[in-house]
Structure 1
Amino acid sequence: MNDIIHPQTTIGHVHLIVSNLERSLRFYTEIIGFRLLKQNPYEAVLTADGVTPLVVIEEKADAVPKPPRTTGLYHFAILVPDRKSLAQSLLHLLESGYPLQGASDHLFSEAVYLADPDGNGIEIYADRPMEKWEKTANGEYKAVTEPLDVNNLLAQAGTEAWSGLPMHTRIGHIHLHVAHIEEAYAFYVQGLGFEPTTRMGTHALFVSAGGYHHHIGLNTWAGVGAPKPPANAVGLRVFSIVLPNEAEREKAVERLQHIGASVRRSENSILTSDPFGNEIELIIQYI
């Protein structure tokens, strides 16, 4: 059995529970810059290129705020194609007056942080060229959180009017609160087959496919042993992992079953869940 997930594996989309669809739709289109792909009375599918679903927002009538010290979404990360695109997004956010939560330089990327109206965390970021990513003596990526040079970044924005997210935008990674790093390692590394890229003591683990800095971040910052949120809490309903073909998806299923993880199949879908209640859909990228 191949123990490593295919190097072309990526994150597909995130599906969020929100308390007010109309309010969230305005935020994700007017503030973040997604385009509406399709909508029904309770759900909207958002895209950057007019074809690929990246974010699904679903209204739950009985939705409650996510308790702060629970597992689930820390943030999902929108990867824009270049530094100029990040500068244009940041400039638009500043001009809109929407509150930001932070702006950081991580060496391998530059990032801006905020939350949607329900408190769902969002990162918008651009990668530096891979040849500039630094590694530590043990071969892991050097990850820091330094203040972003905002003025230097904004100088790249140009004079064009903001027109939303560029078409090559995608979901770059997802970062989750978990209860135990050891259990997270067992599921995401030994089960799904991602490779560890950075560890922060015993409280955070970052994993990826194909040498990326991270596709999934895992932390215990909500507390070791944190409980799952209520079933009707706003937050992450499911996110998808995109594998290149059916054979690679079945290898992932085999690894998950080998560690005793649940795998649920329907006609067009394979779902699993990590030990902390985070739902994951395994999908195939058809070319």
Structure 2
Amino acid sequence: MTDTPVIPETARIGRTALLVSDLDEMIDFYRDVVGLTVQTRRATVATLGVDETPLLVLNRAEDVSPRGRAQAGLFHTAFKVPSRAALGAALERIRDRWHVDGASDHYVSEALYLTDPEGNGVEIYTDRPREEWPRAADGTVEIGTVPLDLDDVASQSDGSAGAPPGTTVGHLHLEATSLEAAREFYVDTLGLTVQTEAQSALFLAAGDYHHHLGVNTWHGRSQPAGGRGLAWFEVVVSDDETLTTVRRRLEDADITVSDWDEGIELSDPDGITIRVRAV
């Protein structure tokens, strides 16, 4: 790992962007089921979020083929809600308008899992208090998986029709072709911390969060990312000076960096685009 991480400890996940076939259907899902608000809408692109904070960009790309079964890419986008009451309300929306694929207590969080109309994974979760997170002897966070009591979660619902203020993209989970290559890039080069290592999976963080990024090889992906699904995801840093420092450190590490309207972008070993911008 780098002595001074390329990605600073104060960084967080910003927006996620998806290439989609049916823009209307996908807007309906992320509005009515996940609970996001449509902030902007044009013929081929929509931005959804909470209050003034954009969280998800949907780009219609009818001429792009579906993601292949062997291709790396998105495992799920994880929307973090600020309370168990909000998680209960999300469960009610899912049960009323969609279906739950799974639900887990991860010791650090409680999570609901579902799949959007075009096969992209979605997690909606809430964190347990930090002081309750189990930690290893070296201080890293230990993430586990046990069944979640859905009836208990539902009983805590505040009945809200949408995702409340404070909802964010808490983390992103990717499917990689090589866990070793992912570790070399995200940990050894970018400087993220391995918080938990599970069977064929890494859970990585900037700073002391339980994880901003998950990476797994559970489904044996063997080809670079492509097709519909994840277009890019965003890492947000605190200010322009920090962004300049990130760029310099990336270039010093021989990572190819290019400009985009709001910051810089680069690609991971599987061709997944990462955008970095300042708040």
Match of 1:71 in 2: 72
Instruction: List gaps (5 residues or longer) in structure 2.
Output: none
For the residues of structure 2 that align with 1:7 and 1:245, how far apart are their CA atoms?
13
CA apart distance, 1:236: 0.4
For the residues of structure 1 that align with 2:188 and 2:258, how far apart are their CA atoms?
19
Name the SS for the 2:10 alignment partner. Answer: coil
In structure 2, the CA distance between the partners of 1:111 and 1:33, relative to structure 1 (3 Å rule), is same
Q: Aligned letter for 2:196?
A: T
Could you report, residue by residue, the CA deviation over 1:135-165 in whole angstroms, capped at 9, with x for unpaired residues? 134543222111111111111114x4x3211
TM-score (norm 1): 0.91
Q: Aligned letter for 1:43?
A: V
For the residues of structure 1 that align with 2:220 and 2:246, how far apart are their CA atoms?
29
For the residues of structure 2 that align with 1:279 and 1:190, how far apart are their CA atoms?
18
For the residues of structure 2 that align with 1:268 and 1:246, how far apart are their CA atoms?
10
TM-score (norm 2): 0.94
CA apart distance, 1:17: 0.7
Name the SS for the 1:172 alignment partner. Answer: strand
For the residues of structure 2 that align with 1:198 and 1:80, how far apart are their CA atoms?
22
Q: Aligned letter for 1:217?
A: G
Match of 2:237 in 1: 243
CA contact (8 A) 1:100 1:113 kept: yes
Match of 1:32 in 2: 34
Q: Aligned letter for 2:148?
A: L
CA contact (8 A) 2:84 2:126 kept: yes
Match of 1:126 in 2: 126
Match of 1:255 in 2: 249
CA contact (8 A) 2:83 2:126 kept: yes
Match of 2:153 in 1: 153
For the residues of structure 1 that align with 2:136 and 2:69, how far apart are their CA atoms?
33
Match of 1:46 in 2: 48
For the residues of structure 2 that align with 1:185 and 1:151, how far apart are their CA atoms?
38
Give aligned pairs, total: 277
The question of 1:56 aligning with 2:57 is answered yes
Matches within 5 A, 1:263-282: 263-266=257-260, 268-282=262-276
Match of 2:217 in 1: 220
Match of 1:23 in 2: 25
Match of 2:168 in 1: 170
CA apart distance, 1:267: 5.3
- RMSD of equivalent CA atoms: 1.7
Greater Cα shift, 38-47 or 132-141: 132-141
Q: Aligned letter for 2:78?
A: A
For the residues of structure 1 that align with 2:25 and 2:142, how far apart are their CA atoms?
38
Name the SS for the 2:30 alignment partner. Answer: helix
CA apart distance, 1:11: 0.2
For the residues of structure 1 that align with 2:261 and 2:140, how far apart are their CA atoms?
39
CA contact (8 A) 2:234 2:277 kept: yes
Match of 2:103 in 1: 103
For the residues of structure 1 that align with 2:137 and 2:3, how far apart are their CA atoms?
27
Identity of aligned residues (%): 36
Pick from 179, 196, 210 the counterpart of residue 194 of structure 2. Answer: 196
For the residues of structure 2 that align with 1:53 and 1:61, how far apart are their CA atoms?
23
Could you report, residue by residue, the CA deviation over 1:121-141 in whole angstroms, capped at 9, with x for unpaired residues? 100000000000001345432
Q: Aligned letter for 2:210?
A: H
Q: Aligned letter for 1:71?
A: A
For the residues of structure 2 that align with 1:137 and 1:101, how far apart are their CA atoms?
34
For the residues of structure 2 that align with 1:210 and 1:197, how far apart are their CA atoms?
10
For the residues of structure 1 that align with 2:96 and 2:238, how far apart are their CA atoms?
40
In structure 2, the CA distance between the partners of 1:105 and 1:115, relative to structure 1 (3 Å rule), is same
For the residues of structure 1 that align with 2:195 and 2:149, how far apart are their CA atoms?
25
Q: Aligned letter for 1:122?
A: V
CA apart distance, 1:35: 0.6
Q: Aligned letter for 2:202?
A: L
Q: Aligned letter for 1:70?
A: Q
CA contact (8 A) 1:70 1:222 kept: no
CA apart distance, 1:191: 2.6
